[in-house]
Amino acid sequence: MTRKLLSVPTVLLRSQAPKDAELLVLRHENAVLRRQLASPVRYKPADRLWSAALSAPVDRLRRREAFPVTPGTLLAWHRKLTARKWDYSAHRRTGRPPTRAAVKTLVLRLAQENPRWGHRRIQGELARLGHRIACSTVWRIPHDAGIDPAPRRGGPTRRQFLTAQGQGIIAADFLHLDTVLGTRLYALAFLEHGTRRPHITGVTAHPTQAWTTQQARNLAADLGHRTESLRFLLRDRDGKYSQALDAVFQSNDLRVITTAPQAPRMNAHCERAIRTLRRELLDHIVILGESHARQILTTYEDHYNRHRPHQGRDQLPPETQQHPAAVHNLDTHRMHRTRVLGGLINEYRHAA
């Protein structure tokens, strides 16, 4: 009988009756399910979205029966969505932002390489390099690394001390050569301690004080403005050195220091360079005369200054300031060999 009674509106309103009936069935089923649930229903974000979107076309008087949530709940969902959108608490950290690892490494390097620099001096150098950080941060980085402040920091190491002193020293010493006929020749060699650059000024069979003084003048003219960075001339007590030779260097504001008698270790750098010259050149070649000796010594000096690596300069030649770019693909770069002194010495370069 209920179905018959409900079929009357269906006949009168054929277009709306089936849909309204379906809605009544869904509402009744929804009410039955709510009575059976003991715990509150949990809605997903998609469910909340559709509930909010369909709330507008529904009549206000029917919203309570159509939706399981109240308008206040819809507004609360919207407030939570807006708050979550503009909430940066997960990305916000209290206090100062952390210092980058590269800046910390730079601060430690400046503190270790400059033992007299305090944290304010280091901060100024960082600002000049484009890194602006607080003074207290600069102080804390060496402190955490166990580096003492500048007044109590340890003094320079022996290597740093010798390197700083060596920049202003040039040493002189004689070396002898024997020709194929047994004639003894003498060469005067100078060595700059800072760059390890040797200067072999001349070769003669009869070294005199006048000849030695002239070689000193030639060297001073070749050095030019570079003598401004030199402070000391180190030499032994050989009689071939004269006061005129000392005057040449003193006129360029160099102080002459003589070694103790029979103490070659006081001029160790120059002695070591002469030993290298003998081991790599003089012990493997027969000298014909003065001109031949001068020619091979000049060639070796050019090789020593421009190509030969030196341990005291991080495997750099004396006249080179930085290492060349590394070549990783050796298959595409052919190695080129240059023979020096007839193949006695070889120089290797990557062919262009």
Q: For 302-315, how does the pLDDT look when each residue is reduced to its tens digit (9 = 90+)?
A: 999 988 888 777 78
Q: What single letter denotes the amino acid at residue 288? A: L
Q: Contact 209/244 with Cβ under 8 angstroms?
A: yes
- Same domain assignment for residues 108 and 245: no
Indicate the pLDDT class of residue 151, thresholds 50, 70 and 90: low
Residues 198, 297 share a domain: yes
Q: Please choose, from the candidates 30, 26, 32, the residue with its C-alpha nearest in 3D space to the C-alpha of residue 69.
A: 30
Query: What is the largest distance, in Å, between two alpha-carbon atoms of the chain?
Result: 145
Q: Could you tell me the two tokens for 4?
A: 């018959």
- Whether 209 and 284 have beta carbons less than 8 Å apart is answered as no
What value, to the nearest 5°, has the Cα angle with vertex 79 and ends 75 and 83?
A: 170
Model-level pTM greater than 0.75? no
Q: Which CATH number does the domain housing residue 286 bear?
A: 3.30.420.10
Tell me the pLDDT band of 15, cut-offs 50, 70 and 90. low
- Residues 16 and 37: their CA atoms lie apart, in Å, by 32
Same domain, 174 and 130: no
- Whether 76 is covered by a domain: the verdict is no
Q: Which residues contact 205 (CB under 8 A, 6 or more apart)?
A: 183, 184, 185, 186, 290
Complete DSSP assignment for 149-183: PGGGS----HHHHHHHHHTTEEEEEEEEEEBTTS-
Share of the chain above pLDDT 70, in %: 73
CA-to-CA separations, 237 to 120, 258, 259, 263, in angstroms, rounded: 49, 6, 7, 10
Q: Answer yes or no: is 257 within a domain.
A: yes
Give mean pLDDT, residues 32-48. Answer: 68
* Predicted pLDDT at 331: 65
Which pLDDT score is estimated for 216? Answer: 93
Mean pLDDT across the stretch 136-151? 82
Instruction: Quote the CA–CA distance of 96 and 134 in Å, as a whole number.
Output: 10
Which residue, of 155, 181, 201, is where some domain finishes? 155
Residue 298, pLDDT score? 94
Contact 352, 335 (CB under 8 A): no
Q: pLDDT at position 11, please?
A: 56
On whether residue 281 sits in a domain, the answer given is yes
Assess whether 110 and 173 both reside in one domain.
no
- Supply the pLDDT for residue 18: 64
Cα 76 to Cα 78: distance, rounded to the nearest angstrom: 5
Q: Which of 138, 155, 172 is the last residue of a domain?
A: 155
Q: Residue 204's pLDDT band (boundaries 50, 70, 90)?
A: very high
Phi, psi at residue 241, to the nearest 5°?
A: -90, 140
Residue 200 has pLDDT above 90, yes or no: yes
> Are residues 193 and 308 part of one domain?
yes
Give a yes or no: residue 117 inside a domain: yes
Q: Are strands 184-192 and 169-178 parallel, antiparallel or unpaired?
A: antiparallel
Q: Is residue 280 part of a domain?
A: yes
Choosing from 126, 155, 184, the residue where a domain stops is 155
Whether residues 264 and 130 fall in one domain: no
Q: Are residues 273 and 172 in the same domain?
A: yes
For 205-261, the pLDDT digits (tens) are 999 999 999 999 999 998 888 788 888 999 999 999 999 999 999 998 899 999 998
Q: What is the pLDDT of residue 247?
A: 93
Same domain? For 242 and 143 the reply is no
> Based on the domain organization, do 192 and 116 belong to the same domain?
no
Same domain membership, residue 213 and residue 288: yes
Q: Are residues 173 and 150 in the same domain?
A: no
The verdict on 189 and 280 lying in the same domain is yes
Asked whether residue 80 is domain-assigned, the answer is: no
Angle at 132 between CA 130 and CA 135, to 5 degrees: 140
The 10 Å Cβ neighbour count of residue 125 is 16
pLDDT the model gives residue 8: 61
Give the domain extent around 298: 163-313
Please state the domain count of the chain.
Answer: 2
Q: Is residue 39 part of a domain?
A: no
Helix boundaries (H) for the chain: 2-12, 17-36, 45-53, 63-66, 71-85, 101-113, 119-128, 135-144, 158-166, 209-223, 243-250, 268-280, 290-306
- Does residue 53 belong to any structural domain of this protein? no
